[in-house]
Structure 1
């Protein structure tokens, strides 16, 4: 019963990721070219469009590592509060062929939960990355450092508007205790 309780929200995410929700906009696509070796490592989640699996988490990060089979190990690290231990959730990503490494299919829980994600843009020095979803339901701003300059954050947030997102849906993820409860943060 407990497994069913845990899987139900993940199945809801799958349904959200698979559906375009009747949007009149065409599916989001990416023209980015991603150097997978440079992309690997820890990315701090600076902001996202909150959804049940990430909402309310703090000090979150996605950690990527190339596997021998060519796929990518995807570890989501998070805390439920700053005084709680870090937890992780493991997934596996497959890069969609002929997408310049910009479109990934990620599976969690042995493939029960899957989602397509797009690396929309990466800084030339790989200091930040913008991640989207074909149906524009999900989005993330990643950075190699936990702290991001406010002006840069606003510039990156505005890029999502050009891709058809409502930038007001993006909310910052607290990476430091002083950010909890501040305007613009989850």
Structure 2
């Protein structure tokens, strides 16, 4: 509980932070098949921020619930020789967004985050996730390792949405990736 008391104010500040820019909020016109989107998505890369920085072998696991909401389990390791840990959230799809915009609540609804599926591969093998204020971005894959050419292409796609692709860094999914160029 003490740890939560320390982390909660930081999460609230991050959720309320302004972009500092004059761009309109990011939106998406992706059309997502929720049943196909469910399952494990490996976090290949992201814009590092305090809640995920330093995490290894990270993945988001989505499960569609009977009430129409989505269980969001973020799994990670702090070191490759340590056990997997997890954080849980519950997401609701924003009506009228073709299932591409979600509102995720963590810590019993005290912290809420916007989630935008910007693009998904036709075979649902990868997905690009954004945030309305363009401070956060993720590259997801169904496999823990992605072809480098595909990764670079997906990373560059964020530029069209007003992101600086240089801020997107890989998340180590294997021990040998730790400390390598381009990784967090």
Q: TM-score, normalised by structure 2?
A: 0.97
1:138 to 136, 139, 148: 136
Q: Does 1:4 align with 2:5?
A: yes
- Computed over aligned residues only, the root mean square deviation of the Cα atoms, in angstroms, reads 0.9
Which one of the candidate residues 57, 60, 63 is aligned to 1:59?
Answer: 57
User: Structure 2 matches for 1:55-134, cutoff 5 A?
Assistant: 55-134=53-132
How many residue pairs align between the two structures?
183
1:165 paired with 2:163, answer yes
CA–CA separation in structure 1 for the residues paired with 2:101 and 2:52:
21
Do 1:9 and 1:53's aligned partners in 2 also have CA atoms closer than 8 Å? no
> 2:14 — aligned with what?
13
Q: Which residue of 2 aligns with 1:38?
A: 36
Q: Cα offset for 1:6?
A: 2.8
SS in 2 for 1:110: coil
Once the two structures are superposed, residues 121-165 of structure 1 have per-residue CA deviations (whole angstroms, 9 ceiling, x without a partner) of 000000000000000000000000001000000000010011100
Residue 13 of structure 1: how far off its partner (Å): 2.4
SS of corresponding position for 2:108: helix
Deviation (angstroms), 1:71: 0.3
Distance 2:93 2:4 in 1: 29
**1:113, 1:106 → 2: CA distance?**
8
TM norm structure 1? 0.96
